[in-house]
Amino acid sequence: MSFRDLLKISLGSLSRRRLRTFLTVLGVFIGVTSIVVMLSLGIGLKQFFMSSVEQLGSLTQVTVYNYGDTAQDKNAETKFLTDEKVDSFRSIPHVQDAYPVLETSVLMKQGPYEANITLTGIPIRAMRSINLQEGTYPKESDNGLKLLVGNMVGTNFYDPKASNRYDYGMDGLEQKVDFRQPMFTIFDTAAYYAAKNPASGDDGTKPTAPKKYILDTVGYIEGKPGSWNRYSYSVIADLDQLKAQLRKIYGKRAIPDQPTNKKGKPYRYFVYNEARVDVDDMEEVENVQKTLQDMGYQATSQMEYLKQTQQTSNMIQAVLGGIGAVSLLVAAIGIANTMMMSIYERTKEIGIMKVLGCDMRDIRSMFLIEAGLIGLMGGVFGLVFSYGISVIINRLLGGAIAGSEMGGEVASVSISVIPIWLAAAALVFAVLVGMAAGFFPAQRAMKLSPLSAIRNE
C-alpha cells in the first residue's frame, strides 16, 4: 500500500473513535504545553539573567585595577597602571583594545545646589560604545572639557542650606539641576572647603578659594528618568583633556588620588585607577583575565557572574523541563493504551488484511502513522496554546519584573521565550513520542496469526 492509502486508513480509524482520539490527543496536548511553557520560562530567565549581567558591564570586557601603594609595597610602582603598561595589554592574544580610566573627585554647583561627583576620563574612542539619548560625543578638537552625563546624575545634587538638605523629591529621583545650563566645577575641593572654614591658615591668612570652571555638557547618556544602567551616575570626559586640565590646575603639586613617592612628591606620569581590556571573543575572556592576573594585577569580568547565573538557569531549566517531561510521559502511556485497544478492536480486520496478502510492514506502518498523527495533533494544538500562555505571562509579569529589577530601564522583559528551535523540537518530539508509544502495539499487530485473528469476535 502507498503512504497515501496508509494515511487514509489511519485517519479513518481515528475519526471512527472520536472521543478516545480526543482524550488521547488531549493528553499529548497537556504534555507538550507543559514542557514547552516550562522550557520557555527557563530560556526567558536565562536571557533575563544575561541582560541583567550586561547592565553591569560588557561581557567581552575585562577590568584591571591598580592597588599599588608605595607606603606598603616597595615594588608597588612596578604594578602601577600607566600608559606604557596599558599599551602592553594590547599585545595579549585576543585583545582588541585596552585603555586607561582616570577618576577624580570634583564639586559641581548650579544655583543653590551642589554635588560631589566622580569625573571619569576615558579616550574618545571608548565613548563610542556608550549609547546617547541626545547630543554628541566630545571631540579631540574641543576647547576644554566637554561632558557626557548619565540620566541619574542630577539626583545627587542637594541644597546645603536647606533644612532638609538631602530632600531629593519623590522617591529620591527628582532632578534638581539642568546640565544644559552652565555647570560650575571645582577641581581643588580641598582648597574649597579650607576657604569655607573661618579658621586662618598657618601664617594667619585665610586660604584662597580655588577657581571655578564652567564645563559644558555635550551628550546625555541613554536612559529613562528613574531608570538605572551602568552609566546612570557617570560624568565622563575625554581622558587627554582631563589630564591637561589637572596639570593646569595643580602644576607641580600632587594631584588628589594620584600616588606620591616616599618624599611626598608626585610622579611625572599619571597612574590610572583602572584599565579596561576589550576581548574579541566572549569565550576568550577568562583566558585574558587569567593572563592579566598572572601579570600581578587584579582583573575581573562579568563572565564570573555570568557563569553563576548560567548554572542557576540551567538548573531551573532542568527542573522545569523534567516537570513537563513527566506530563508527556503520561501522554505516551495514553497513546500506547489507545493503540492496544485499537488492535484488540480491529483484530479481525488485521487478519483479513494478512489473508489478502498485505505486507507485514504496511500493517506496522499503519499503526505507527496512527500513533504519529495523535502526537502531531497534540503537538500542534499544544504549541499554539503555549504561545498564548507565553504572551499572557509576559504581559502580566514582564513589566513588573522589569520595573523592580532594572529600575524601569525597559518597558517589560520576556520571561517566557519560545524560540523557533523549541517550537520545531516540540512538534518533532511529540510525533516521535507518539510513534515510540505505538511501536510495540504495532509489532503486536504485525505478529498476529491470520487464522486466529479472523476467528476472533
Choose between 269 and 205: higher pLDDT.
269
The pLDDT of residue 402: 56
pLDDT band at 177 (very low <50, low <70, confident <90, very high): confident
Return phi, psi of residue 455, to 5°. Answer: -75, -20
b/e for 420-442, b at 16 or more Cβ within 10 A?
eebbeebbebbbebbbbbbbebb
Amino acid 451: pLDDT? 60
- pTM of the complete model beyond 0.85: no
pLDDT at 345 over 90: no
Calculate what percentage of the chain has a pLDDT beyond 70: 80
Chain centroid offset of residue 336 CA = 43
Res. 457: pLDDT tops 60: no
- Check residue 67 and give its pLDDT: 62
Q: What one-letter code names the amino acid at 77?
A: E
Residues 6+ away with beta carbon under 8 Å from 407:
226, 227, 228
Residue range 373-404, pLDDT digits in tens: 888 999 999 999 999 999 998 888 766 665 55
Instruction: Please check whether residues 401 and 254 belong to one and the same domain.
Output: no
Same domain? 110 vs 173: yes
Q: Does the pLDDT value for residue 123 go beyond 70?
A: yes
Q: What is the per-residue pLDDT for 440?
A: 77
- What pLDDT shows up at residue 415? 82
Last residue of a domain, one of 280, 301, 322: 301
Q: Are 410 and 293 members of one domain?
A: no
Task: Tell me what pLDDT residue 71 has.
Answer: 45
As a whole number of angstroms, the distance between CA 285 and CA 94 comes to: 9
Q: Of 246, 271, 301, which closes a domain? A: 301
Residues 51 and 63 in one domain: no
Same domain, 129 and 270: yes
Same domain? 224 vs 359: no
pLDDT at 255 over 80: yes
DSSP state of 414: -
- pLDDT score at 332: 82
As a whole number of angstroms, the distance between CA 237 and CA 122 comes to 7
Q: Are 313 and 424 in the same domain?
A: yes
Average pLDDT over residues 149-176: 70
Amino acid 171: pLDDT: 46
Cell numbers that stand for 346 in this block: 480491529
* Position 453 pLDDT exceeds 50: yes
Which of the four pLDDT bands, split at 50, 70 and 90, describes residue 170? very low
Higher-scoring residue by pLDDT: 198, 337: 337
Tell me the mean pLDDT in the region 199-216.
Answer: 74
If asked whether residues 263 and 179 sit together in one domain, one would say yes
- For 261, the domain range is 59-301
How high is the pLDDT of residue 45?
81
| Alpha carbon 260 to its chain's center | 41
Give the pLDDT of residue 202: 55
Please report, in angstroms and rounded to a whole number, the separation of the first and last CA atoms in the chain: 26
Mean pLDDT across 314-343: 79
Q: What's the number of domains the chain is made of?
A: 2
Both 29 and 65 in one domain: the answer is no
Report the DSSP beta bridge partners of residue 298. Answer: 65
* Pair 146, 194 in one domain: yes
Same domain, 80 and 49: no
Note whether 8 and 150 are same-domain residues.
no
Looking at every residue in the chain, the average pLDDT score rounds to 81
Q: Of 244, 272, 301, which residue is a domain's last?
A: 301
Coil, helix or strand for 449?
Answer: coil
DSSP string, 201-225: -TTSPPPPPPPPEEEEEEEEES--T
Instruction: Judge whether residue 424 has pLDDT over 80.
Output: yes
